[in-house]
Amino acid sequence: MKKKLALLTFAVVIGLPTSAFANSQYVQYDPTFNEQQKQTWLAEQGLQEVRELKQDGFSLVEPLPHIDKADVEADLIPVSVVEKATDSAQLRQTYLDQSRIPTYWKYSRGKSDVRVAVIDDAIDVNHSEFKNVIYKTTTISGIRKPDDHGTHVAGIVAAAEDGKGTVGVASGVKLIGADVFDGDFASSIDIGDGVLYAISQGADVINLSLGQYEYDPYMEAAIKKAEAKNIVVVSAAGNDGRNKLLFPASMKSVIAVGSVGTLGRASTFSNYGRGLNIMAPGEGVYSTMVGNKYGYLDGTSMATPIVSGVIALAKSKNPFITNSTLRSKLYAAAAKKTGDTSLHYGTGRLNAGMLATIPSPVSKVSVPSVLKPNQPFALYFDEYSNAKTLTRLYKDGKIVKTFTNDYLRNGTHKYTYALKEAGTYKLVFATSSGRHTRVTERVITVK
């Protein structure tokens, strides 16, 4: 027997302001401005630069924390040489800056060995944003027909960084698509089978922008299998404004996502209650649509893949991190405001700054860069992977010394050694598990 599940698209909207005051204003500087002139003007306006935009001379700026909105000129144009920028598609993706995602792209734009499963209706795989992005898709139920909902969700996660249209939160990862809807209906069995398909295809993150109020053991069993394989499952809280989360968002191991608007307040439609974990932008979210088009949608369905994308970035940095550690770092970094309650905001609003707290598999490497022949040295490094790390020293492509080739305990490791011959050596740490490998290198010169 089929159960109708909420696709969680709250509404299609025809427009959205390009930015919310508290989060982003875009300015264009006169090309004659030097860095000092730019910084002087920003200081006079009580502003700070968040980041430069892709177009030269454009920046995203925001008020300094102690500056009140009323103290800043609304148009940000004190002289004629400064203008707002309005001609970039990314300016419509205000949710990126709202969650501070571009600021932390320096850690990763997403690795191609990381896969995010979108269990939804069918993705329009012919959309230009998904060229070389789709790893594999399948139809679990019904006749495959691309739909706006699944296409929109997929674009939020991984639309290509190709200089046009939109860009995904984790544009470098691959997508797995599982079409589980037959028209407006999906059975819990098909959704459970979609989860199992995602597991079989090597998903690292599973996005479920759907749900129902009834508990379902089949879906639960599939999700528990994903958790056992260290696959993060992210699900939508629901769009009925109720003090009750949809299932499977209500599962303890699932990251339950609610929606906030551009000013960070909980959306009136967003479900809340016990078990809500985190909030993300879910109003006026601009992304891909069927037929090589783009558009805005509202809903916790849209907030959910923003969180999934950030999780995919974290997995790209360290694919070996445990789910429990990843969730704790996600929740610890969430932005809180006075008056928030856990029932309405969970741990707070999504903040991609959590990426800064994700350790690389091998980090804090300490080794001298220059040595004398036969000079003993100490090698220190921190391991954080629960995977096998091969640590080798090479000279002219030949192995000089193997320090480790095993699963190491998490923490600091120390080794001592001395190099007899002059020359250039490469110290290589290769941490691997399954298809995932992350490499860290250091160069040592002996002279």
Residues with catalytic function: 120, 149, 301
Alpha carbon distance 316, 318 (integer Å): 6
Tokens representing 101 are: 């995602």
Q: What are the two backbone dihedrals, phi and then psi, of residue 133, each rounded to the nearest 5 degrees?
A: -105, -35
* CB-neighbour burial class of residue 412 (10 A; exposed 0-12, middle 13-18, buried 19+): exposed
Cβ partners under 8 Å of residue 30, min gap 6? 57, 81, 82
Q: What is the DSSP-derived secondary structure letter of residue 386?
A: S
Cβ partners under 8 Å of residue 114, min gap 6? 170, 172, 173, 174, 204, 205, 312, 315, 316, 319, 436
- Residue written as tokens 């508990």? 215
Cβ atoms of 264 and 79 closer than 8 Å: no
Cβ atoms of 179 and 206 closer than 8 Å: no
Tokens representing 301 are: 């369905």
Alpha carbon distance 55, 53 (integer Å): 5
Terminus-to-terminus CA distance in the chain, angstroms?
A: 76
Minimal CA–CA distance to 119: which of 308, 363, 245, 320? 308
H/E element, 226:
helix 217-228
* Helix extents (H) in 63-130: 94-98
Alpha carbon distance 198, 203 (integer Å): 5
